[in-house]
Structure 1
């Protein structure tokens, strides 16, 4: 019976940068084949790595392939050190326990880093006064930071569940080894205890991340509500200002209407007085009569064409504006489709 164990372990890695420290999520691929026909309790796998020490038993059918994210990884260094201190082939589970113990503890520090970021954002976001313009701008900055933090926290639940599933598979494999007498009771119990310790730690991290996700979501919702209320308050102020302008416009319209009515009342009298005041009429004619010039037709010849030209210019300008507005509306309609 051959046993194949393959999985991808995701873990955070801290690296120094100019502004402090930066965390990067990396992953290591693991493929392990165990050939049970050898029936040897201390059978192990040999890592395939060009920089690692060469195998002392090339006939060993067991196989371990590690896909490191970079050269000279911490895991490869620990594997090399472990093999140099113990020239014998390590047991099957030793390599997997070494992988887990190398990378899983870094989750604790990564979660602490995320929690520190959340506390820093919350200290600012929960003390903002939205009546100040500068605080409103800062609120949008913190909102973006919270959204970025949420994007970092949300995938962790699935990653932890995957890691827990891998640990449980290793526990099942450990029980299988013991049931087939490939390992003694003491070794089986030691491996089980260490795997269960990793399982307990990952369950604790899963609970912590769940609470962290909830806190991020609550603060994000609170900040969104506060910004929405701020925007609503601004909209109310704008509406009140527009209402005041509308009232002023209505008052102006009423004044214009009064002026127009007064003008219409006096317009006929003004026209009559202007018309009769022209030199075409003579009220002091001989004999006390009323006289009118024979050139009276000049007034109509000049007034009627001028009136028609004025109306024509007004009609042309109005029609041009209507066509321009209609063309803009048609362009918006076509662009919208």
Structure 2
């Protein structure tokens, strides 16, 4: 983990360092260090070690010193990084615990940021797990070399003629391993808290969607109710028209033959066969109403069949 000056994001970059180290009692030690940048903290610390005569002699006789130096150059950067991520996660958790459903912070953009943080925590977990494996591997290699030194030659052995005791380096590597374990546990804790915040935000977005769906359903019900009322009014007007038109047609057919003004008074006078109007108009009206009823029944059956076919 390394601090960057990109001006965007969280301000940290995950770096992968490649190290090739060949060491032996009768072979010249060779180390190749691969890094993404030219001027790095590990490079400057290595230059300082090789410029100091005492450290240079120790580094030539102890293969663990350089590895411990490289690992310690970047491992402690996890502390401020995780503190920053934990503080950001805590602020989001406090925000979504007290926010209302209509608050603008309940949006998909916040969920995207949390998902991005979740993916970065997964990457950090993998890096720390690998770093812990590297530290334990180097520590195991150092202990094996100590065993070989004691078994072969307490004086010279594979460490060289003026070999230094690597016990301090092994203890330091043990401390680095404990730090890796602690940072790994911190990442796991932050990851779980991020999952809690994601759950809160997802529940809030679901409640928003459900509320919107309920509003749409209420509006649709009101519109349907209004349509039903309008349809009822249309049916009433249709029935009145169906009753009125046959009688109007019969009245027009008979004309003024059934009614007229009395010669003796100004009152309306009906003919003796006025019942012909009723005998003609009533059956015609009933037939018209029957045709209308049959048409409505057929329309209702057609709509029912359409609903059944749509459901299937």
Distance, in Å, in 2 between the alignment partners of 1:197 and 1:109 is 18
- Aligned-pair CA distance for 1:187: 2.0
After superposition, residues 226-237 of structure 1 pair within 5 angstroms as: 226-237=204-215
Are the equivalent residues in 2 in contact too, given 1:14–1:21 (CA < 8 A)?
no
Are the equivalent residues in 1 in contact too, given 2:20–2:33 (CA < 8 A)?
yes
Structure 2 unmatched runs, 5+: 150-157, 256-312
- Aligned-pair CA distance for 1:172: 1.1
Query: Measured at CA, do residues 185 and 123 of structure 1 come closer, stay the same or move farther in structure 2, by a change above 3 Å?
Result: farther
Distance, in Å, in 2 between the alignment partners of 1:215 and 1:117 is 11
Distance, in Å, in 2 between the alignment partners of 1:199 and 1:30 is 18
After superposition, residues 52-131 of structure 1 pair within 5 angstroms as: 61-86=28-53, 87-88=56-57, 90=60, 91-130=62-101
Residue 204 (structure 1) aligns with? 182
- Aligned-pair CA distance for 1:146: 1.5
- Aligned-pair CA distance for 1:76: 1.0
| Matched position secondary structure for 1:126 | helix
- Aligned-pair CA distance for 1:15: 2.2
Flag the structure with higher strand content: 1
Which whole-Å deviations, capped at 9, do the CAs of 1:190-224 have from their partners, x for residues lacking one?
A: 12210110000111111111111100001101210
* Residue 178 of structure 1 pairs with residue 178 of structure 2: no
TM-score (norm 1): 0.66
Query: Measured at CA, do residues 85 and 195 of structure 1 come closer, stay the same or move farther in structure 2, by a change above 3 Å?
Result: same
Distance, in Å, in 2 between the alignment partners of 1:264 and 1:75 is 98
Distance, in Å, in 2 between the alignment partners of 1:25 and 1:276 is 102
- Aligned-pair CA distance for 1:19: 6.7
| Matched position secondary structure for 1:71 | coil
Distance, in Å, in 2 between the alignment partners of 1:167 and 1:20 is 29
Residue 125 (structure 2) aligns with? 157
Which whole-Å deviations, capped at 9, do the CAs of 1:59-88 have from their partners, x for residues lacking one?
A: x53221111111121111111111001253
Distance, in Å, in 2 between the alignment partners of 1:137 and 1:198 is 40
Query: Measured at CA, do residues 21 and 229 of structure 1 come closer, stay the same or move farther in structure 2, by a change above 3 Å?
Result: closer
Are the equivalent residues in 2 in contact too, given 1:156–1:209 (CA < 8 A)?
yes
Q: How many residues align?
A: 244
- Aligned-pair CA distance for 1:229: 1.8
Are the equivalent residues in 2 in contact too, given 1:26–1:69 (CA < 8 A)?
yes
Structure 1 unmatched runs, 5+: 1-11, 39-59, 278-337
After superposition, residues 1-337 of structure 1 pair within 5 angstroms as: 12-18=1-7, 22-36=11-25, 38=26, 61-86=28-53, 87-88=56-57, 90=60, 91-130=62-101, 132=102, 135-136=103-104, 138-181=106-149, 182-183=158-159, 187-273=165-251
CA-atom RMSD in angstroms: 2.6
Q: Which has the higher contact order (CA 8 A, sep 6+)?
A: 2
Query: Measured at CA, do residues 161 and 85 of structure 1 come closer, stay the same or move farther in structure 2, by a change above 3 Å?
Result: same
Distance, in Å, in 1 between the alignment partners of 2:245 and 2:130 is 91
Query: Measured at CA, do residues 21 and 237 of structure 1 come closer, stay the same or move farther in structure 2, by a change above 3 Å?
Result: closer
- Aligned-pair CA distance for 1:121: 2.0
- Aligned-pair CA distance for 1:269: 2.6
Flag the structure with higher helix content: 2
